[in-house]
Amino acid sequence: MRFQLLGPLSIAHGPETVVLKPSKPTSLLAALLLHPGAVVSTGYLLHAVWDEEPPATARAALQTCVLRLRRLFEKYGISATTIEAVPGGYRMPNDIRTLDLVQFRALAEEASASADPGEELYRLREALSLWHGPPLANVASLMLRRDAVPALEQERLRVLERVCDLELVAGNCHQVLVDLYEGSSRHPVRERFTEQLIEALYRTGRQAEALAEYRTVRERLRDELGVDPGAGLRRLEMAILRAEELGPPATARPALPRPALPVAAAPAPARVAERGALPPVPGFVGRAADRTAMVARLGSTDGPGLVIVSGAPGIGKSALARQCAYEAQSAFPGGVFTIALAGPCGGRVSVDEARAQLPEPNGDGRRRLLLLDDAAGAGQVLSLLPATGDAAVLVTSRRGLAAVAATHGGSVHRLDVLGPAEAYELLAGLVGAERIAAEARSAHRLAAVCGHFPLALRIAAGRLLTRPGLTVADCAAWLAEDPPARLALAEDARLSVPEVFGRALDALAPEQRDAFLRVGSLEPEAALAAVAGESVLEQLVDAGLLEDGPPGPHPYRLHHLLRVYARWYTERRLDAVLPAPL
């Protein structure tokens, strides 16, 4: 006997496989199998079977569902004790022999532990063979289909991506094309499949088809999402246009597919959120007026408890928001919750994924604070606000979010770079007051090279901390030679000026991107209207890449570090398209 989750929920009994009909007992079985060996709370099961509105008699009806499942098991010779009643809920102690999901994860772990690429590939192929269709296709539970199915599918896709990587390393470019065509067509926004497909085509001598695939995905991303392909795809396109050798395929292993399902012991569908006592932001300085006003607004019960923090990329929006949440948390006995609205690589989180992070209503009237961090735009925030209830909401975004402020009130704080004294204080707090004071003039020069951007200052501080023998003067001089390229720490893309600024640039429409790069080529006093219309300039202001200037003939200004980055980016783009000198 074997339960099968990786496809329609079914029971395999000898040569016979029985696909269960959609029903409440089927939803109950799915909820238990998704957490093999774990105690699944009664509250969680009630929501899995009846979704968001369990009836008053649901607990008694749940026991009836358990009884019906046990009778079904007896029909196929399965012990009725397979479902164990335990304090607080139920449990099914499945293993690799009785549940395909457990076997899938075990094979993935075995593959990762193998030092032999051939053995790893064999195990991963064996794991993928356990899938026989869309998971839980016959399960009626909206909650499980919303929360569990995407998590299961992500596990499968990570394994498939690794299989394709291994096939490319082994030189099996022709053999893996079928998998890659399927992966890239079914998951067009998952750029890794497209990268692998283009690489396989190019390695097999099909340069024209490789470029055609790139252009197809580029147009799809622009039409459907308004973004351009990521850096990996763009580098691959340039290599193909130059007819360069790609070198050996990458062999780095991704993280193992791990369960990303709702926590079964929760009394309701779990929401991934950071809560509880928040620590202060390390080395935080400045922004005194903004901090005072934001903490007062969040703590007040008079008027909308909504605060928006906007500004250029890397200017310290998230740090300010977290510091204010720390200072205001005593006013929120219901907890502080952080909801990430952007993924690790900078892409926007879908509305459904964001809603899944929102906490459940507490029902006890205790105030809560929600930090919606790194919103991509007003639409993303407006879709979430109705679900926040009476919680205070703190939003960070490069965008101005004028539509949010216009419809929901609250206060808006547009951040500028730090002042010279604040930038010096940040360096002193991170690196050490004595070391910075010993080279005070060089410290001010270093801050100027960093454009007084908190992100750049923290990167510079990281270099000084990891190189005790490096003087502040030498660090400033080295960074000044090529600030955009050298203001980066290899360990974390979030601490990289070219990565952070590049993501903001990638999010622009082509017309806006070209205007930003042209603006960057002008001297500060030049009339920006000469290169772009007012509507485009206003769009750049909204995107956080241009600032309102003083009233007069030049009503816009560009931060120094952004100007340096725009010129650096333009020079690199020209170098990439111009032929090398003979």
Q: How far is CA 256 from the centre of its chain?
A: 17
Look up residue 22 and give its DSSP letter. Answer: S
Cβ atoms of residues 222 and 513 within 8 Å = no
Cβ atoms of residues 307 and 395 within 8 Å = yes
DSSP string, 251-268: -PPPPPP---PPPTTSSS
Rg, C-alpha atoms of the chain: 27
Query: HSE of 335 in the Cβ direction (CA atoms, 13 Å)?
Result: 13
* Angle at CA of residue 277, ends 329 and 404, nearest 5°: 45
For 547, left (φ over 0), alpha (ψ -120 to 50), or beta?
A: beta
Which structure tokens are listed for 533? 């219309």
* Angle at CA of residue 287, ends 439 and 421, nearest 5°: 20
Dihedral of CA 512/518/524/526: which sign? Answer: negative
Which structure tokens are listed for 81? 């004790």
**Ordered strands of the 306-310 beta sheet:** 336-340, 369-375, 392-397, 306-310, 411-414
Among candidate residues 141, 185, 154, 135, the one with its CA nearest the CA of residue 7: 135
Look up residue 204 and give its DSSP letter. Answer: T
Rounded Cα–Cα distance for residues 124 and 166 (Å)? 10
Which structure tokens are listed for 63? 């026991």
Q: How far is CA 433 from the centre of its chain?
A: 35
Cβ atoms of residues 233 and 214 within 8 Å = yes
Rounded Cα–Cα distance for residues 33 and 548 (Å)? 56
- Which helix (H) or strand (E) segment is 12 a member of? strand 10-13
Which structure tokens are listed for 286? 């400045």
Residue 490 burial (C-beta neighbours within 10 Å; 0-12, 13-18, 19+): exposed
Rounded Cα–Cα distance for residues 426 and 443 (Å)? 11
User: What pTM value is reported for the model?
Assistant: 0.55
Question: Within 10 A of 522 (CB to CB), how many other CB atoms are there?
Answer: 15
Consecutive 10-residue averages of pLDDT for the chain (582 residues): 89 83 92 88 87 80 90 77 82 88 91 85 91 90 86 87 85 80 77 85 84 84 75 81 68 47 37 53 90 92 86 94 92 89 71 80 80 91 87 93 91 95 94 94 96 95 89 95 87 80 86 87 63 80 85 76 91 56 44
CA dihedral 122, 127, 130, 134 (to 10 degrees): -130
Q: What share of the chain is helix, strand, coil (3-state, %, to 5)?
A: 55, 10, 35
Residue 582's pLDDT is 41
* Angle at CA of residue 205, ends 201 and 210, nearest 5°: 35
- Residue 17 β-bridge partners: 12
Sequence-ordered list of residues with C-beta below 8 angstroms from that of 461, at least 6 positions apart, any chain: 283, 426, 427, 430, 431
Which structure tokens are listed for 24? 């409440």
Rounded Cα–Cα distance for residues 1 and 102 (Å)? 14
Which structure tokens are listed for 164? 């394709």
Q: How far is CA 101 from the centre of its chain?
A: 25
Position 372, amino acid = L
